[in-house]
Every structure is written in structure tokens, then in C-alpha cells.
A and B are shown apart, each in its own frame.
Chain A
Amino acid sequence: MRKSKPVTSPLVARQSLWLFGSALLVFAPLVPHLPDWLIALTTLTLLWRGILLWRHAPLPSHWLLAFAGIAGAAGIALHFHNLFGRDPGVALLVLLFSLKLLEMHNLRDGFAVVLLGYFLSLTQFFYAQSILNAGLTMLGVTFTTAALVVLNHSRQPPLRSVRLAGLMLLQAIPFMLLLFVLFPRVQGPLWGLPIDAYGGLTGLSDSMTPGSISQLSQSEAIAFRVKFAGAYENKAPRQATLYWRGPVLSQFDGRSWRIGRVFVSNRLPYQPAGEAIDYVVTLEPHFKPWLFALEFPVAIPAEGLMASDYQLLAKTPVRTRLRYEMRSYTGIVIGIDESPALLRDALQLPPLSNPRARVLAASWREQFGADDDAIVRSMIDFYRHQLFFYTLSPPLLGEHSVDEFLFDSRRGFCEHFSAGFVFMMRAAGIPARVVTGYQGGEVNPVDGTLIVRQSDAHAWSEVWLKGRGWIRVDPTAVIAPSRIETNLAFALPAGEARPLVALPGFVWLLQMRYRWDALANVWNQWVIGYNPQRQRDFLARLGMRSPDWQQMTVVLTLISGVLLLGFTAWALYQRQRLVPALALWNRFSKSLAPRGLARSPWEGPFAYAARIAATLRGENPELGVEAARIAEIYARLRYAKPDPVLTWQLLQEMKLRVSRIRLLKR
């Protein structure tokens, strides 16, 4: 089979322009994720290409491009210290793409640019997979496809190319949905991912220094979403009870708090008690092993374990959005028979630090003797009666951070309050530790899910009292009760910087955010979170008995076949009704057939009219004139720029004239 249109035929200016435009669209969403120098280089290349296009100038030589390519690749290798991996890979693709635009001579090069464009559209999903990204990609793919249409038919008008590309993509959507739902999913990665596969993300860490949580609370990023079931369907339990337990920090070095030694098991260390709450958590990837649950969970997810400090841990860091069903009880008592070693750890303090706090704690111990409860109450009273301020921007603290906070600055955020509390307890000889996690969350009225954001990050304390186990004490609830009862925005004093949507007078903005969040939640759950597990669940719910890959393939093939049949019927269908002008024209030709003047298939209107006039010159010159007029009307109706009013008038005139000729024949 000989290619009759060689792929080496040169590109015309219009095709180059299309490829250039689609390249810009594909390149734009990647800009925030590329090194600055590469953006500059690519922009220069594109600019250069644009100028060449504008001036119809010839493309640069291969040598220059080869040099630019090698230099660029070397730059990428230097920048990333690597050529393999996600980010250098994307950078290389961008480099290749921009240089290929300068080396675009013939149809084959043009096609290569189109393929590279599709490839680059995919790479932006490495960085984000939001609805916005999907929309941007759709735009890029539509224009790249339109460029491919122009590549195959350079005379196609621009609007028609985009319309055709849009139509084809619309027709592709049923196939996409079908494949998306039914294509047997495989849980990646297929091989070891490069180290840079996941960028830096915010979230709770395994240590806490003064300021680390207040920094986190500036972030509006979503930590996880919770959908309650049963009695709390579409709402949530009281805010003040929503303590989402995270890392438990029991080691203190004078400045920062760290996780202590823990043991993990897959058995529950306590008995259920109190009210049961059922819910489903959808956890955003945070690349740490923490799983969050209300205090205290009685179910351990399949991918998790229970640590000896009652925190749920995932077996591997949470790299993808994770969804797990949970049940918690509100009245569980923990740690009545706590091991002595662990309690010893919960008393450890760095020697010689914070002398004033130690003195105060020792005085309480002297005053109350063995009454630990009284000491706890004294500390709470201390917070309550002294003038403490709850603020997101506390002053920096020096060497004796607890002393400075408790006795001098008295301005702090939850981590200061809980750390100060735990220090005092330990100094008084009561086992205590800091618990971090999230507190509260907001219910989205649109879909009834509870959204917990990074700004809900919180730190509280636990003290161990003999016979009562670990008791939660949240000093922040004393200083700023509204933080616990409502949320951060209400707790902060006026004048503190806070997120825009938390400002009064922006209710509509808040409403819009709720709607958007609800949509984003559906998107995350069903589009982004559609993994092998979700696929099995969904297909089972649709009535597939055993949704394994064989059955999926069979169903996929069957439905695709039906779809294809439908589309083939569309391809074969053609409206039999002719345009009115053509129908009249055919009638006119037929009416002259008895005189031997039927139109030959290859005869154009004017040639036909001329033939009629020439043949009838002697016997019926009027008919020749009439034929010329009809031919003229027909030509205008078929080939002139359409004008609705004129078209109608001409059509009426043509109808009249053609029927007159038919009458004349009789």
C-alpha cells in the first residue's frame, strides 16, 4: 500500500500556527512546576518560534537545535542531580517539546508535536488532579486535536476544525466513561517510584516545636473528610467532642516534643463503652503513617495497626487518598493498667530546664500531697486566672521556653498551652504527654460531610491518674473555649490575620466554598479515588456478582460493541431530504429531459444553461433565457454566501419559474 500523501510534505504556515497555539495551551499549566531557568528557556524558544512564524522565516539549523538540546539536558541534570524521575522527566519533555517546535518541517514532525502535546497534558496530573486541571487538560486536548485535523486537511476553516475536534471528543466520552469504570484497575506503582514522586506536603509531623502547629493552621488545605452515618447522618457530633487523635508526643528535649517508643499490634487494647459513632474517613495523602479517628476507635482498618499510645497507624505511609470505615465509642477508658516503663517515659524531663516552672510544680506537690487531681485543677486554674492570650503569632521564646511562656509572655497557641501543661504535670510527678491531631471540623451543608482542614490542627494533653487511666485535658478549652466549641476563626481575637472566608460579611463566599468543596469531595471520591477497591465495590453495587478482571473485560467488550454499533449506524445514516434548491434544480432538469436536454452529471449550472440556450436558439429562445435565469438563481442559492431573506426570495422565484416550465411542457 503506497502512501499517496507522503509524510514528508512540508507544513504550510496555517498548520504550524495551529501546532504552535496548541503547544502554548499545553505548556501553560506546567509553568508553576518547572525550574525558572527552564521556563525562561522555553518561553524564549516559543517566542522565537512565534517570530519565525510571523515573518515566514526559515527554521534554525539542526546543529543549533542539537546544541540547545544537549545544553538543556545538561542543565536539567545539574538542576535535579538526576535525569530519571518524575520532575526531570517532565522537564526533559518540555525541553524536547519546545525544541521540536523549532524543528517542525514536515507532516511527520507535526504529528510528533501532537503526540508530545498529548503526553505533556498527562504530566500535569503529577502535580494536581483537581476539577480545574481536568478542565485545562480538556481545553489543551481539544486544541491539539484540532491541530491534528488541520494537519490532515490544511484548508479546513479554524472554527470547523475546533468544532470537529469537539464533536469527536464528545463522541469519545462514552468510551472514556466505559473504560474508566470497567477497565480492570491495577494498584500502582508497577515498579519502584523515584524518590521525588511526591512533593512536600503540609500536615502533622512526628515532632512539635513552638510555632509548628500555628504555622499549620494558616493552611486551608483539607486534611480529611468524614461522612457520619446513623444518628449523625449529614451532620456531626458536637464540635467539642471531635478530637481526631494523631501522633502522641511523649519525649521532650527542652525545645521540641517527639514521639516516644511505641509498640504496634492488630488487637484493641480496650473495651468499647459509651455511645457508638459510625463514619467513613477519606484521608488526603500526607506521606506519614497516621490514620485519624475520633477518640477512641474500635475498628482497625485493613491497612492499619494500633499503637501502644492508642494511635492508629497505617502499615505504609499514606501516599494516595485513603478511605476507611470507622466506628468509635465516646466513653472508652484507656490505660488503666499502663506499663510502668511507659509511665516512666511520661515523666521524663530534660534536667535543669525551666527552673521557675519546676519550683511552682514542686510547691503544688507540697501543698496537695498525693492528690494528683488537685494538682491538675491547680494548673487549669493557673491558666484560667492569669491573663493568657490565645494568638496565632506568639513572641519567639528563648532557652527556657516553658518558663518564658508561663510567666512572661503569656501569649501562645494550642501547642504552647498543652506543652506548658504537660511540663508542669511532669515536674509535679504526674505522667503526662502531648497529643496532636485535629479538633473539630466544619459540616458542609451541601452534602453533609465534615471537612477537617489543616487549620483544625490542634495539640492537647493527657495525664495519667491512678485508677482512671489517661485523662484528656485540653488547656486551650480554658483559655479560648470558642476554639473548641466552634472553630479557630471565632477564637482568634479581632485584628488577627485570618482566612478571607472567615471574615464577617463574606457569607456568600463561604456558601460558594461549601458548594465547591462538596463538588470537590464527589470528584475526589469517585474520580480521583476510583481505585481497584472502589471499582470492586461500585461494580458489586451495580449488580456484578464477582467483579474480577475477566468479568469486567467481558462486560466492557459487550457494552463497547453496542456503543460501536450505535455509532456505526450514525456514520451510515444520511438524511435523504435534499436541500430545496437542489430538489428544484433536479426537477428542472427532469422537465427538460423529453427534449433531450437532461443535465449530464458533470455539467455545472452555467454550462447547462448555455447548452440549453444553444440548442433551443432557433425554436424557443425564451426558454433559453429562462434557463439562464434559473441556473443563475440555483448557483446563487448553492454557492453564494447565504442571506436568509434573499435565500427565501430566490427560492420562491426559482419555484415559480421551474413550475412554469413544467406547465409549458404540457
Chain B
Amino acid sequence: MSLAATLREVFFRWALRGRAPEASPITLTQRRVYVLPTRQGLAYAVALLVMLVGAINYNLSLGYALVFLLAGLGITAILHTFRNLVQLRIAPGRCEPVFAGELANFGIVLTNLRDETRPAIRLRLPAQTSIEVEILRQSSFEARLTLPAAHRGWLPLPRVTLETNYPLGLVRAWSYAAPDQRCLVYPAPAETAPPLPATPGEDGGAVRLAAGMEDFAGLRRHQPADPPRHVAWKAAARQNSGLLLTKLFTGAAAHTLWFDWDVMPATQDVETRLSVLTRWICDAHNAGLAWGLSLPGSELAPAGDDIHFHACLKLLALYAQE
């Protein structure tokens, strides 16, 4: 790490003063809102100085008055910018699990208790582009910050920078917050995976997945892991509500699958096995099958519903972690 980066880290640690992650709701008190002039603010100051020299040189009394008025305007700009940010409340919002490689989507609920709107507040995660939000008077707004989720497991919400230049852009007020929030990242489903394992079940037959896919059974809400070709595009277009629906198929529901860690080829490493298992679970879930999952040290009894689907994926996500 370069010296500058180290120094920056030291500064951030000082700015948050060992509070990360903080208990919610976080209130941005006056002691944690910082204010500095922007480049425009400096240009403004230089312009005022030149104007003052002009007023002195030509003995323009009203010139003095104008310069002093604009200087006062600069001071009120500091206060207004500070006021736009101070005492804002921050609480963690929703955060749906995602698959590794996707964007984690952190919801941050900003609450404005003041009887005035707070416009043009920008939120930013380190190394990400910022989003600008406006929080109406006495209301809450859920801002959504995205962050690439590279690895499975818990992805904690990094330090959030909140800043505003409103109203004049001459000064910038900013603050840091670290709400206690994390996003569960499932392993990425393997792109190439062996077919669903044949289970030595009651009838001993292999799963006829292709056949099962022919019988349309109904629609349900689209989930991130659903294959795109199962999306009911026509239905989505008709609805016009932005909700995507996934076509469900029956045919193989009677079969029960077992995804067992131990029966996988020993040549595969842990992450590969996890991503293959993830693929299988997604496929089975999409196909409307029931499945059971067995990992070293834990086992989930066969089922086919959403709760089971997410429980399995969570188990995979957190496998050998913590």
C-alpha cells in the first residue's frame, strides 16, 4: 500500500473513530460532518479579493458593501451546506442475497426529520460512482448502493461517504458512516456443470429433465437465478409493471434428488464443488424438483420451495467460513 493510501486509511479510521460498524440508526451529528471549500469556493474567494481591491482603489463604498455581502453569502453557504447534511439519520435497509459476480445491492434508509427537503445529497462507496438523492421533509428514502460481489460469503457494507455541495457549490460538506449491514453472496453457479446427478432413489430412474420442461405449470416471481429463457417476456410486457415472471414447468416434481458433497469427483477443489452444487440447486429449483443437500457436517432434508432454495444456497455461501 502506498503512503498516501495508508494515510487515507488512517484518516478514515480516525473519522469513524472505531465505530465501524455502527449501531443503527446513525445520526450525522455536527462533530462528524466536515466542511471544506470546493475549487469553485476558492475561485469565489479570489474573485471577492479582486473586487475588494477594486473597491478600495476607487473608493467605492457600495463596492465594499457588495463584496462584504458576497462574503456573507459565502459564510451562509457554509452553514446551509452543513445544514443540508447534519442530523441526517442513516439505517440499514433491505439487502437481497446475490450470486458472486453480480452487483450487491445495499439499501440505505435515509431519514430526514427536519421540516424541509434535503436536496442533492450524494452517497458513494469507495471506488464506486456516486448516486444523488433527495429526501423530502420528514420522510425516509431508501437509497440503493451497488458494489460488485466478487466472492461468496458475507460482504459487509464498506464505509459510505455522504456528501453535498448544495446550495451554492462553494463548499462541500461530507461525512462517513458505516451502517451494520452485510450482503449474503451465494457462490456463482458453475457455467459448465455435469448433469444433475442420478439418484439411487425409489424408482432408480434418471431424471428426465428435458421431458419435464415441456409441461407449463404456471408463473411465479422471477428470481435472480432463474435462467433467462424461462422468463415470461410476453406476460411481463402485458403487465407493464416492471415485474418479471418466470414460467414454471412440471413433469419431474415427483423425483427427489440428493446433492452430496462426498460423491463429487475428488479432483475438484472446494470452490468448484460449491459452484457446481449451486448450479444444480438452481437448475433443480427452476425445474420445480425437490432436492436434498448434504455437506460435510450439515445436511438439509429434501424440499423444493423457495425457503429451502435459499437455505441451501446460504449453507453453500458460508461453507467453511466463519
- Interface set of A (CB-CB < 8 Å, partner B): 4-5, 7, 86, 111, 115, 118-119, 121-122, 125-126, 129, 133-134, 137, 141, 145, 148-149, 151-153, 155-156, 164, 168-169, 171-176, 179-180, 183, 185-191, 193, 197, 319-320, 527-531, 564, 567-568, 570-572, 574-576, 578-579, 582, 600-602, 638
Contacts and interface: CB of A to CB of B under 8 A. Distances in A.
Contacts of A179: 64, 68, 71-72
A574 B75 contact: no
B223 interface: no
B51 A118 contact: yes
Nearest to A560: B75
Residue of B60, B64, B169 with highest tally of chain A CB at under 10 A: B169
A189 B58 contact: yes
B212 to A, nearest CB: 30
B63 interface: yes
> On chain B, which size bracket covers the interface?
35 or more
A137 B91 CA distance: 46
Contacts of A638: 139
Contacts of B73: 145, 168-169, 172
A180 B68 contact: yes
A180 B59 contact: no
Contact of A320 (B44, B51, B59, B168): B59
Contacts of B272: none
16 contacts: A5-B165, A118-B70, A122-B63, A125-B62, A126-B60, A137-B62, A152-B165, A168-B76, A175-B71, A180-B65, A189-B59, A529-B61, A531-B61, A571-B79, A574-B87, A601-B142
Given A179-B64, A189-B57, A601-B142, 8 more contacts: A134-B62, A141-B66, A152-B168, A169-B73, A572-B83, A582-B138, A602-B94, A602-B107
B75 A175 contact: yes
A153 B60 contact: no
B111 interface: yes
Nearest to A187: B59
Contacts of A186: 56
**Taking chain A's interface residues, is the majority helix, strand, or loop, or is none over half, making it mixed?**
helix
A193 B57 contact: yes
Interface of B: 30, 39-40, 43-44, 47, 50-51, 53-73, 75-77, 79-80, 82-83, 86-87, 91, 93-94, 107, 109, 111, 113-115, 119-120, 122, 124, 129-130, 132, 134, 137-140, 142, 163, 165-169
Contacts of A111: 40, 43, 169
Nearest 7 A/B pairs, CB to CB: A172-B72, A175-B72, A4-B130, A179-B68, A571-B83, A602-B142, A601-B109
A397 B139 CA distance: 86
B59 A579 contact: no
Contacts of A189: 57-59
A4 B163 contact: yes
Given A190-B53, A601-B93, A174 B62 contact: no
A167 to B, nearest CB: 8
B27 to A, nearest CB: 11
A133 B62 contact: yes
B131 to A, nearest CB: 9
B86 A571 contact: yes
A168 B169 CA distance: 14
Contact of B55 (A122, A133, A197, A571): A122
A151 B39 CA distance: 15
A472 to B, nearest CB: 37
Contacts of A155: 119, 134
A193 B54 CA distance: 11
Contacts of A574: 87, 113-115
Q: B30, B50, B57: which has the most chain A beta carbons within 10 Å?
A: B57
Given A169-B69, A176-B69, A180-B64, A119 B47 contact: yes
* Chain B CB within 10 Å, residue with most, of A145, A152, A186: A152
Nearest to A4: B130
A530 B65 CA distance: 11
Contacts of B119: 153, 155-156
A251 B26 CA distance: 89
A547 B167 CA distance: 38
Contacts of A568: 30, 79, 82
Nearest to B123: A4
A283 B166 CA distance: 47
Given A111-B40, A193-B58, A173 B72 contact: yes
B140 A173 contact: no
Most chain A beta carbons < 10 A, residue from B53, B76, B120: B76
A174 B132 contact: no
A190 B56 CA distance: 7
Given A4-B122, A531-B59, A602-B93, A176 B65 contact: yes
Contact of B120 (A152, A531, A567, A579): A152
Contacts of B120: 152-153
A535 B122 CA distance: 46
A4 B124 contact: yes
A32 to B, nearest CB: 17
Given A111-B43, A193-B57, A571-B79, A125 B63 contact: yes
Contact of A171 (B43, B51, B72, B94): B72
Contact of B65 (A149, A168, A185, A527): A527
Contacts of B39: 7
Contacts of A564: 75
B68 A122 contact: no
A473 B15 CA distance: 87
B115 A115 contact: no
A125 B82 CA distance: 34
B125 to A, nearest CB: 11
B168 A122 contact: no
Nearest to B163: A4
Nearest to B120: A153
A183 B86 CA distance: 32
B70 A141 contact: yes
B66 A137 contact: yes
A567 B140 CA distance: 26
Nearest to A577: B115
A115 B40 CA distance: 10
Given A145-B168, A152-B120, A190-B56, A118 B76 contact: no
Contacts of B71: 172, 175-176, 179
Contacts of B142: 601-602
A446 B61 CA distance: 25
B167 A153 contact: yes
B62 A115 contact: no
B112 to A, nearest CB: 9
Contacts of A122: 51, 54-55, 60, 63, 66-67
B86 A572 contact: yes
Contact of A176 (B43, B72, B94, B168): B72
Contacts of B76: 168, 171-172, 175, 567
A173 B72 CA distance: 7
Nearest to B43: A115
Contacts of B115: 574-575, 579
A82 B175 CA distance: 52
Contacts of B55: 122, 125
Contacts of B134: 155
A608 B59 CA distance: 66
Contact of A571 (B51, B72, B82): B82
Nearest to A150: B167
Nearest to A285: B59
Contacts of B57: 188-191, 193
A121 to B, nearest CB: 6
A182 to B, nearest CB: 10
A106 B315 CA distance: 51
A578 to B, nearest CB: 6
Contacts of B67: 122
